[in-house]
Amino acid sequence: MLSISYRRFALSDWERVRALLSHEGEASEHDADVLASQPAEAWLAMEGDQVVGWVLTRPLLSEDGVQRGGVEDIVVARTQRGRGVGRHLMELAESHYRQRGFGGMQLNVRADNEPARRLYESMGYAIVQHRLRMSKQFR
Ligand SMILES: CC(C)(COP(=O)(O)OP(=O)(O)OC[C@H]1O[C@@H](n2cnc3c(N)ncnc32)[C@H](O)[C@@H]1OP(=O)(O)O)[C@@H](O)C(=O)NCCC(=O)NCCS
């Protein structure tokens, strides 16, 4: 098995990232929008020339007025999960924003996404807000 290496994302990597997202059943529209409209920063986990992990971030000004690194997406290929790839990608993002003087990180996660919540909690993230989604059905 090839070992995993890590590097910064470049726009020329996007098709390979899309291949990862589609292979893992993850939507790519949100990530494409973030890349197109924001000063985004992203990192890749590579196995050979294949992208097996991706974290997408952007700088944001939180509601409390603190500048944080916003994690917009993180996906690791199923075949590589549970081996520390997600944690390493998060650490790369954190160290980038820390070095640039940001106050911390911020992200949204679904309440039922146990692996992701555990990852974030194990890295010191705490819940600051529970959101409710409301909808109405037209009859
Ligand atoms: C969330 C995700 C990125 C984690 O990536 P990963 O490479 O498997 O995570 P790691 O191996 O670095 O795990 C780090 C920690 O996360 C937690 N964790 C990861 N997978 C877990 C699982 N299936 N169940 C419980 N905890 C889990 C553990 O605390 C783990 O630390 P440990 O190995 O010391 O116990 C991966 O599961 C994934 O791609 N999920 C689908 C996409 C997704 O939901 N992204 C998050 C959007 S908010």
Residue nearest to atom 7 of ligand 1 (CA): 86
What pLDDT score does 2 carry? 73
pTM for the whole structure? 0.95
Is the C-beta atom of 86 inside 6 A of ligand 1?
yes
What pLDDT score does 1 carry? 62
Is the C-beta atom of 82 inside 6 A of ligand 1?
yes
Local confidence pLDDT in tens for the 139 residues of the chain: 679 999 999 999 999 999 999 999 999 999 999 999 889 999 999 999 999 999 999 999 998 999 999 999 999 999 999 999 999 999 999 999 999 999 999 999 999 999 999 999 999 999 998 989 999 999 9
Of 4, 2, 129, the C-alpha closest to 54 is 4
DSSP codes, 56-77: EEEEEE-TTS-EEEEEEEEEE-
Residue nearest to atom 17 of ligand 1 (CA): 119
What pLDDT score does 58 carry? 97
Q: What distance in Å separates the CA atoms of residue 102 and residue 29, rounded to the nearest whole number?
A: 27
Cα of 120 vs centre of ligand 1, distance in Å, is 8
Q: What distance in Å separates the CA atoms of residue 81 and residue 23, rounded to the nearest whole number?
A: 14
- For residue 134, the SS3 value is coil
- Pick from 54, 72, 119, 121 the residue to mutate for probing ligand 1's pocket: most ligand atoms within 8 Å of its CB: 119
Is the C-beta atom of 109 inside 6 A of ligand 1?
yes
CA atoms within 13 A on the CB side of 5: 8
Q: What number does the ligand 1 atom closest to the CA of 109 have?
A: 48
Cβ neighbours of 136 (radius 10 Å): 5
C-alpha torsion angle, residues 51, 126, 128, 32 (rounded to 10) = 0
Q: What number does the ligand 1 atom closest to the CA of 74 have?
A: 45
Asked whether 94 and 107 are in contact (CB, 8 A), the reply is: no
